[in-house]
């Protein structure tokens, strides 16, 4: 073989290797990512989620919330425990005392590892568990896009700065979602996740005492005040349902509450200014369809794929 041919062949090999590396590090999420490598993944996850919700209905909302708080990132970083040498996101202001359900994710991971060890990321488990929680509680289903890998790092400051706050105004909410590439429709649809679950007194105290006469139904405020004292550091962790009517059933009552000025959080009530809110209140099918689409849109936020990140053996720690 001539030296020119040898050089040409070497260049071809280098190009192919480089191309494969680029493709692998920029892989796209797909709905059939584990169809061959872990064919029983979905049934395995759903079984554990169903059992957890059977024990406590609120857990469905908690698992959904975990995905939301991880997904301004979507890399499983929220699941990492703090250590003497590592500071994670669990103690960030939006997460501390608020996010829960980590033990259920541990149970799912254990079951999945038994079925197909070393294959499925914790980030993808979060995504599937969120979908299953919604379905079990009466909401829509969707084909979850998968193929995420788990982060080896976490950022408490990013969690503090990126996760929307219950005190946000409409403009702040729009800016927060736009920064992640999400639309106004995504914002209003995803906020409908508050049709299930509960919030702590510290998250809505200011609304029920300081917004009377502005945008809150007086009788609703009085009802919530009964279990949420005005003074801070008193009853901060007392709970109230985000959806007044059906807090353990996934429907569109959340939007009806907003129209009636009975949104529990200030950020919820801010959505009364959007025509989409009234549309979802009047049409459950439209809400369900837009919510499913928005969940996949949120799941596309900066996932680690290909050769980036890792597949954690234990969701709480880096391999």
**Rounded-to-integer distance, Cα 57 and Cα 198, Å:** 11
User: How many C-beta atoms surround the C-beta of residue 199 within 10 A?
Assistant: 20
Distances (CA, A) of 173 to 93, 94, 162, 182, 269: 17, 15, 10, 11, 12
Q: Which residues contact 307 (CB under 8 A, 6 or more apart)?
A: 21, 24, 25
Query: Which of the following is catalytic: 42, 69, 194, 266?
Result: 69
3-state secondary structure of 314: strand
Question: What are the φ/ψ torsions at residue 204 (nearest 5 degrees)?
Answer: -125, 5
69 is catalytic: yes
Q: Is the dihedral of CA 163, 264, 253, 65 positive or negative?
A: positive
**Rounded-to-integer distance, Cα 125 and Cα 105, Å:** 8
In this structure, are residues 119 and 273 in contact, taking their beta carbons and an 8 Å threshold?
no
- The per-residue b/e assignment along 23-50, b for 16 or more CB within 10 angstroms, e otherwise, is eeeebebeeebbeeebeebbebbbebbe
* Active site residue ranges: 69
């Amino acid at each position: 073989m001539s030296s020119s041919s040898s050089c040409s062949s070497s260049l071809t090999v280098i190009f192919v290797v480089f191309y494969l590396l680029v493709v692998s590090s920029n892989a796209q999420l797909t709905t059939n990512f584990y169809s061959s490598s872990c064919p029983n993944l979905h049934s395995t996850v759903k079984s554990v989620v169903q059992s957890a919700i059977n024990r406590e209905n609120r857990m469905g909302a908690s698992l959904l919330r975990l995905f939301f708080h991880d997904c301004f990132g979507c890399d499983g970083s929220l699941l990492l425990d703090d250590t003497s040498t590592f500071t994670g996101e669990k103690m960030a202001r939006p997460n501390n005392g608020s996010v829960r359900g980590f033990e259920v994710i541990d149970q799912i991971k254990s079951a999945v590892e038994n079925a197909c060890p070393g294959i499925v990321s914790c980030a993808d488990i979060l995504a599937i568990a969120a979908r299953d929680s919604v379905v079990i509680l009466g909401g829509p289903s969707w084909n979850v896009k998968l193929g995420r890998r788990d982060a080896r790092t976490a950022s408490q400051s990013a969690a503090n700065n990126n996760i929307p706050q219950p005190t946000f105004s409409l403009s702040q909410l729009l800016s927060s979602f736009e920064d992640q590439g999400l639309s106004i429709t995504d914002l209003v649809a995803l906020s409908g996740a508050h049709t299930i679950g509960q919030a702590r007194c510290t998250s809505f105290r200011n609304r029920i005492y300081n917004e009377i006469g502005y945008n809150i139904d007086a009788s609703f405020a009085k009802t919530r005040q009964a279990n949420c004292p005005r003074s801070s550091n008193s009853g901060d962790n007392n709970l109230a349902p985000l959806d007044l009517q059906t807090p353990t059933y996934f429907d569109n009552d959340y939007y009806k509450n907003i129209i009636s000025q009975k949104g529990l959080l200030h950020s919820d009530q801010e959505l009364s200014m959007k025509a989409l809110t009234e549309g979802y209140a009047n049409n459950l099918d439209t809400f369900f369809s837009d919510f499913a689409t928005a969940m996949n849109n949120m799941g596309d936020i900066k996932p680690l794929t290909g050769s980036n990140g890792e597949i954690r053996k234990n969701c709480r720690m880096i391999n």
